[in-house]
Each structure stands twice: as C-alpha cells, then as structure tokens.
C-alpha cells in the first residue's frame, strides 16, 4: 500500500489515521500537489491528494472513496456499521467535516495571495461555511450517536482531522466557543496514537 499526499493535508491525515487504526502497513510518499514538478497528477487526474495505490496496484483517489476502499478490505476495527442507512448518516457527517476542511483550505490559499489581491467575499463566504458546519457537527457530537459515541467511526476521524487542520492553520481561532461537545471529541481523539503520530509538524 502506498499513500501519496502532503503531511499537512487533513484529507491525507484522515487516510493515515484510518490505516494506523486498522494496523495496515503502508508507504507514505510526500508529494505536494502545488509544486510545479508534482507527481500527484500521475495518480489523480485532478491533481489532488490523497491518492492510494493498493496491494493490487489499483489507484484510488478522493479521501471518501479511499476510506470506502479500505473499509471493504475488512480489517478491524470496523469504522462503518453494517446497517446501510446508519452508515450513510455517518458518511454524511464525514462529508460535512470534509467540506469544512475544503473551506479552510480555500481560506489558506486565498490568504497566501498578496493582501491587495485577496477577496474578502471568498474569505467571508468560506468562514460562514465553516461556522455553519461546526454548528451542525456540534449538535451531532452532543447527541453522541452518529458522532462522538463510544465506537470510533469515519465521521469521528474526519472531524478530528478537520479540527486539527483549522487549529494548525488558525483559520477560525475561536471555533471552540460554545462548542463543548466538539472540544470533548477532539480531546478524546487527539489522545489516540493514530492522531498523535500524524500531527503536522510544519507548513
């Protein structure tokens, strides 16, 4: 198994965490999709990370698809329930967390532009997406059923990686205000070895 991606990407971290939780041995290939000589397009025509080359030499891309492909291998722990409707609800929360990460990435890229070229509309629109998404995840985490339950699942992992990214990039410094359930979830996840081993060290 070969995972292609950047150490700082929340989507790459999500796949790393999943494989560490399942005890899957893999090679990590550090590739930024933003470098002019990046090899990422060789694995994903869209030029985005992560990409995964599995044991059968099949290449998978998009973190949600990769997560599904890994889950189909059958290694424990199971990160989606057998109940397909319940699994779909968990996948929707996973995609919500991924969407927040997408919005955070857009903010980071926009802020890399010269100050006079940055779009306040883009920054504001994506901050609003993040805040609305966090509010929805807070409700789910407070319920403790599909998210923040006693059983780790894909939604938990995606949410933890998203929170780790917005903390790392300081996209929404006050995100934790009035979101105690998400704080509890983050604290619980960040104590796990899989999260500790995948903390981004530099930008």
CA distance 64 to 60: 10
pLDDT for residue 202: 63
Q: For the chain, which residues score pLDDT lower than 50? A: none
State phi, psi for 135 to the nearest 5 degrees: -60, -45
In this predicted model, what pLDDT tens digit does every residue of 148-194 receive, in sequence order?
999 999 999 999 999 999 999 999 999 999 999 999 999 999 999 99
pLDDT for residue 36: 83
CA distance 48 to 11: 10
Average pLDDT value over all residues in the chain: 96
Tokens 């802020």, residue located? 111
pLDDT for residue 50: 98
The set of residues, in sequence order, having a beta carbon less than 8 Å from that of 58 and lying 6+ positions away, is none
pLDDT for residue 48: 95
Note the pTM of the prediction, 2 decimals. Answer: 0.96
Per CATH, 2-71 and 84-192 having the same topology is answered: no
Work out the number of other CB atoms within 10 angstroms of the CB of residue 167.
Answer: 17
pLDDT for residue 34: 86
Q: Does domain 2-71 have CATH number 3.30.450.20?
A: no
Ranges of each domain in the chain: 2-71, 84-192
Work out the number of other CB atoms within 10 angstroms of the CB of residue 62.
Answer: 18
pLDDT for residue 201: 79
Say which CATH architecture domain 84-192 belongs to: Up-down Bundle (1.20)
Residue 167 Cα distances to 101, 112, 151, angstroms: 11, 17, 24
Tokens 């292609």, residue located? 4
């Amino acid at each position: 198994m070969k995972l292609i991606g950047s150490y700082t990407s929340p989507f790459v971290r999500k796949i790393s965490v999943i494989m560490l939780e399942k005890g899957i041995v893999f090679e990590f290939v550090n590739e930024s999709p933003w470098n002019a000589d990046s090899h990422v397009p060789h694995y994903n025509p869209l030029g985005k990370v992560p990409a995964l080359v599995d044991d059968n030499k099949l290449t998978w891309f998009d973190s949600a698809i990769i997560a599904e492909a890994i889950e189909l291998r059958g290694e424990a722990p199971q990160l989606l329930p057998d109940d397909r409707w319940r699994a779909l609800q968990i996948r929707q929360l996973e995609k919500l967390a991924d969407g927040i990460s997408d919005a955070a990435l857009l903010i980071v890229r926009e802020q890399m532009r010269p100050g006079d070229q940055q779009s306040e509309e883009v920054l504001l629109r994506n901050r609003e997406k993040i805040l609305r998404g966090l509010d929805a995840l807070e409700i789910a985490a407070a319920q403790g059923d599909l998210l923040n339950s006693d059983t780790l699942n894909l939604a938990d992992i995606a949410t933890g990686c998203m929170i780790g990214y917005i903390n790392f990039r300081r996209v929404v410094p006050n995100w934790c205000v009035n979101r105690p359930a998400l704080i509890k979830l983050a604290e619980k996840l960040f104590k796990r070895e899989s999260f500790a081993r995948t903390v981004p060290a530099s930008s």
